[in-house]
Amino acid sequence: MKAGTFTLAAENPAFPGCTISGEIIRDTLVFSMAEGTDISPESYPVHKIWLAAHGALRILAGKEIPLDAGQCYVTPVGTPVGIKADTEGVYVEVLLRKETVMNPILKDKEVFVLKDLIPYQEGKIVNMDILSNPKLKFVVMSFDEGTGLSEHSAPGEALVFALDGKAIIGYEGKEYPIRAGENFRFEKNGLHYVKADGKFKMALLLVLE
> Domains in the chain, please, with CATH?
4-113 (2.60.120.10), 114-208 (2.60.120.10)
- Could you count the other beta carbons within 10 Å of the beta carbon of residue 93? 19
Q: How far is CA 11 from CA 23, 102, 184, 187, in A?
A: 13, 29, 12, 18
19-39: average pLDDT: 95
Alpha carbon of residue 112 to chain centroid: 12
Q: For 128-187, what is each residue's pLDDT tens digit?
A: 999 999 999 999 999 999 999 999 998 889 999 999 999 999 999 899 999 999 999 988
Query: To the nearest whole percent, how much of the chain has pLDDT over 70?
Result: 99
User: How far does the chain reach from its first CA to its final CA, in angstroms?
Assistant: 18
Mean pLDDT of 41-45: 95
Say what the pLDDT of residue 189 is: 87
- What is the helix (H) or strand (E) element at residue 8, kind and residue range? helix 8-11
pLDDT of residue 27: 87
1 has pLDDT over 70:
no
* 6 contacts 13 by C-beta, under 8 angstroms: no
pLDDT score recorded for residue 3: 66
The residue type found at 26 is: R
Task: In whole angstroms, give the CA distance from residue 71 to residue 51.
Answer: 6
For residue 71, how many other CB atoms are within 10 A of its CB?
19
* Bridge partners, residue 189, by sequence: none
d(CA 178, CA 148): 14
Q: What is the pLDDT of residue 4?
A: 75
List, for residues 50-95, the tens digit of each pLDDT value: 999 999 999 999 899 999 999 999 999 999 999 999 999 999 999 9
Q: What is the pTM of this model?
A: 0.93
The maximal CA–CA distance of the chain, rounded, in angstroms, is 50
Within 8 A by CB and 6+ apart from 159, the residues are 24, 25, 28, 183, 184, 185, 186, 204, 205
Nearest to 154 by CA among 182, 184, 181, 128: 184
